[in-house]
Structure 1
Amino acid sequence: MGDGGGPEPGEPVMSREEADRALARLAAEHEAIETSLLSLQDHAGRRLLEGAELTGVTKERWARAEEAISLLWTHFEVYTAALDSLRELRARHRRPTLDDLAELTAGLRNPSVTVPSGPDGPDGPDGPDGGDGERIGLPELVDRINAWYAQALDVVAAADSVWSALPARIDMLSAELQRVRSLAHSVGVRPGEHPAGDELERTTEELTSLRAEVVADPLAFWIPAGGSSAPGGGRPDTERYDRAARALDDIRREIDAVLQVRQDAEQRLMRLRDVLSRADRTLAEARTARGEVLAKIAASEVPAVSGPPTVLYEQLEAAVEHRRHARWHRLSPLLESLEERAEEELERARASLTAVTAPLAVRAELRGRLDAYRAKVARHGLADDPLLSERYDIARRLLWSAPCDLRAAEQAVLRYRQAALEALAASDGGGPTGREGGVR
């Protein structure tokens, strides 16, 4: 390698046109680099990073990026000075001499500039032989500047993307969370009293923690684009935010359900009172009927009738208290249970009344059958038949006496029916039925 005063031995000297094209490329590169550096200097993400109290991976990467930015400007100054020197050399003569071209060739192609040793220096901070720097060529200098710029921009752009996306969304979700919290408290959904209240507290703590972590360490929430080497390529990691948003949606649905209970509570309580009142009246009717059956029906097993549903009435009073004190989160499950049990109680009361009054229904049926047989016989002119009259009187006496022996009365009705069938058959010439049909 030469000393920068001329081309390498055996290396051809550039022509004037080649030197002019190389200088033009360097000038364009210089302008692009200067624009990029000024843009980086004014980048909002860079200003935020400089003023933030950083932690974690962001603190580490920003420290390296700041060093890279410092080296960028130092090397850019060297680049500017070298370019100015080459331009001055080219401007000496309109048509450069062979010596001018040889010097231009050496400056454009050979390691012709001395730069401070940095992270990319081959032998540490003092250069290859312990001096103040190292000599490199302009193309290598441009490559280093571009690499450091990409490194710094990647940190700045990624941090800015996270800060632009997540904190604002977290703040909006936190504002919605505060609205939900206020609504939750109004219906008694509080930590320690309702699962949704506990989840609301956890979500609040998570959002507070998440925002602090995002502000202090934004690069911990950055997912680089796979396979992309472009600075700032990737997207913010929103997994924790999304999880908190879903949790808040679940809490909101739970509170909406409690609010629905508050809105419908009075009507549901009124319906419950009505159902329990009907069940109570039905049981009272069954108890009255049981006394009547025991007085009027003999030799019959009459089931006992339970008392009023006092436990359900107590729970109904508890529900009223929950409503009075706006304990909607407790009222909701209690109402659901009460509505189901109240309907069951009404069905049980109706079944009890049916079971208790069954003997009276049997007696009424026997009375109807006896009168039907009697009317049939009378239409055939057999009402005064001595046997029929006797059996009718026996059956009627049993059915209309108190207490009524249902078993004996049923047998008496069957005997009367049998005698009526025989009498009707005899009056019709021996057939089993008459022209109007026999007694069934």
Structure 2
Amino acid sequence: MGDGGTAGGTAGPGGPADGPVLGPEEVDRALARLGAEHEAVETSLYALQDHAGRGLLENAELTGVTKERWARAEESIALLWTCFDTFTAALRSVHELRAGCRRPGPGELAELTARLRGPVVALPGGTEGGGDGIGDGVGDGGGGRVGLAELVRRMNRWYAHALDVVTAAESVWSALPARIDMLSAELQRVRSLAHSVGVRPGEHPAGDELEDITAELTSLRAEVVADPLAFWVPAGGSSAPGGGRPDTVRYDRAARALEDVRREIEAVLQVRQDAEQRLMRLRDVLSRADRTLAEARTARGEVLAKIAACEVPAVSGPPTALYEQLSLAAEHRRHARWHRLSPLLESLEERAEEELERARDSLSAVTAPLAVRAELRGRLDAYRARLARRRMADDPLLAERYDAARRLLWSVPCDLRAAERAVLRYQRAALEVLAPDGEGGAG
């Protein structure tokens, strides 16, 4: 709608107006602006009359905040038409007065100025200070009368209030019910899949979740249809009518919950298709863990026999509990209890891999002393080879330290700590000899 702008003003029948008396050209420009305002108001009113959201609001069984706001919006719409008729009549009278005096004198210009600027329009009853855009008493002049520009400003505000309600309601109705219906259709598909794999309310958490989602969507749709404005989030800082968006928090939560259930049901379906292969893989992983633990137990005995002065960790027994659960999983498969088999398989697969990793770690921990002994032997021989290339291996001190380290490393049981100290002594002596020839360093 328009902005209500006019120019100039003076005294008239409705009371005094501020400003100088308008000249003929200023009167004509003011009339042209008011004419444009009149056309804009009329166009807006008819557009509001035909707005799809208004038709929906008029025919719906409303509740809550929407019922309250629509009742006030209907008052605004009725007031708009009444004030528009008053505006039309007042503007016509000014046009007639101007048309009757081609060359208006001072008295006629004063009269025209008063009608254009002064408080010449009486407001309908009940518009003096309401809320939600229905009258606020601003610029009333005296006795509930306002000027044409103020009347246009008020009509703009009432129109914006009504349009905001209509547009917001239509936006919610256009967005949420259709999306809820689509989600409900997907819900039925998931329920059918769930039933086919034995996922039912009271027997599986996913079945109970589907019942909760069904109840939520039914309730949500009924609330959206009856009270759409309860699901409208106005745009922050925006004064434009209809500025905002539908509140989809509850819908989004239900959609996420259904997606979680759908993935779980599809996982159960997948279990039905590849259960035997997964069970075979589980048996293989547990068997490898068993063999690794057996190897660790054998290695521990070897280490205890060959290495002295060294702590060797104990090795646990086979994963009996996992084998029991594996037997239970096979039982679920035989009796087609897919909804129970699915989570059990997932848990078993994770724990079986953990068991295999634990067995490998145990083997590594048990054989660590043998690996240290092998590293020390390799280091000892490497330094002796470097010395031999320089014809220094037979140096008495070096030969003595080499023999001492070698005896310790090849003795059974091997005192690993003493052997490591002997290798370090030989290494330091070798580095001192090799350094002048450019072969020094940590090596």
Tell me the TM-score normalised to structure 2 length.
0.61
| Corresponding residue for residue 45 of structure 2 | 37
RMSD: 3.8
Q: Say which SS state the counterpart of residue 169 (structure 1) adopts.
A: helix
| Corresponding residue for residue 218 of structure 1 | 228
1:263 is aligned to 2:273: yes
1:90 to 94, 98, 106: 98
CA distance in 2, matches of 1:6, 1:183: 77
1:108 is aligned to 2:116: yes
1:233 is aligned to 2:243: yes
| Corresponding residue for residue 350 of structure 1 | none
Change in 2 beyond 3 A, CA 1:111/1:325: same
| Corresponding residue for residue 252 of structure 2 | 242
| Corresponding residue for residue 188 of structure 1 | 198
CA distance in 2, matches of 1:165, 1:94: 57
Read off the aligned partner of 1:28 and give its amino acid letter: A
2:88 to 68, 80, 84: 80
CA distance in 2, matches of 1:331, 1:169: 34
Read off the aligned partner of 1:246 and give its amino acid letter: R
Please say if residues 206 and 244 of structure 1, whose CA atoms lie closer than 8 Å, have aligned partners that are also in contact.
yes
Matches within 5 A, 1:255-404: 255-268=265-278, 322-323=332-333, 326-334=336-344
Q: Say which SS state the counterpart of residue 252 (structure 2) adopts.
A: helix
1:61 to 69, 87, 101: 69
| Corresponding residue for residue 166 of structure 1 | 176
1:71 is aligned to 2:87: no
Q: CA deviation at 1:134?
A: 3.5
Q: Say which SS state the counterpart of residue 119 (structure 1) adopts.
A: coil
Read off the aligned partner of 2:109 and give its amino acid letter: L
Identity rate of aligned residues, in percent?
78
Please say if residues 17 and 117 of structure 2, whose CA atoms lie closer than 8 Å, have aligned partners that are also in contact.
no
2:150 to 140, 144, 153: 140
Change in 2 beyond 3 A, CA 1:207/1:34: same
CA distance in 2, matches of 1:145, 1:244: 42
Q: Which has the larger radius of gyration?
A: 1
CA distance in 2, matches of 1:269, 1:121: 78
CA distance in 2, matches of 1:69, 1:93: 37
Q: CA deviation at 1:58?
A: 0.9
| Corresponding residue for residue 5 of structure 2 | none
Read off the aligned partner of 2:50 and give its amino acid letter: D
Q: CA deviation at 1:179?
A: 0.9
Please say if residues 14 and 120 of structure 2, whose CA atoms lie closer than 8 Å, have aligned partners that are also in contact.
no
Q: Say which SS state the counterpart of residue 223 (structure 1) adopts.
A: strand
Q: Say which SS state the counterpart of residue 202 (structure 2) adopts.
A: coil
Q: Say which SS state the counterpart of residue 245 (structure 2) adopts.
A: strand
Change in 2 beyond 3 A, CA 1:232/1:333: closer
CA distance in 2, matches of 1:79, 1:64: 22
- State the Cα deviation string for residues 227-257 of structure 1 (Å, max 9, x = none): 1111111111111111111111111111121
| Corresponding residue for residue 60 of structure 2 | 52
Please say if residues 162 and 221 of structure 1, whose CA atoms lie closer than 8 Å, have aligned partners that are also in contact.
yes
Change in 2 beyond 3 A, CA 1:134/1:333: closer
Q: Which runs of 5+ in 1 are unaligned?
A: 128-132, 277-310, 344-440
Read off the aligned partner of 2:249 and give its amino acid letter: E
Tell me the TM-score normalised to structure 1 length.
0.61
Please say if residues 177 and 221 of structure 2, whose CA atoms lie closer than 8 Å, have aligned partners that are also in contact.
yes
| Corresponding residue for residue 202 of structure 1 | 212
Q: CA deviation at 1:339?
A: 8.0
Please say if residues 71 and 118 of structure 1, whose CA atoms lie closer than 8 Å, have aligned partners that are also in contact.
no
How many residues are aligned here? 309
Q: Which runs of 5+ in 2 are unaligned?
A: 1-8, 138-142, 287-320, 354-443
| Corresponding residue for residue 178 of structure 1 | 188
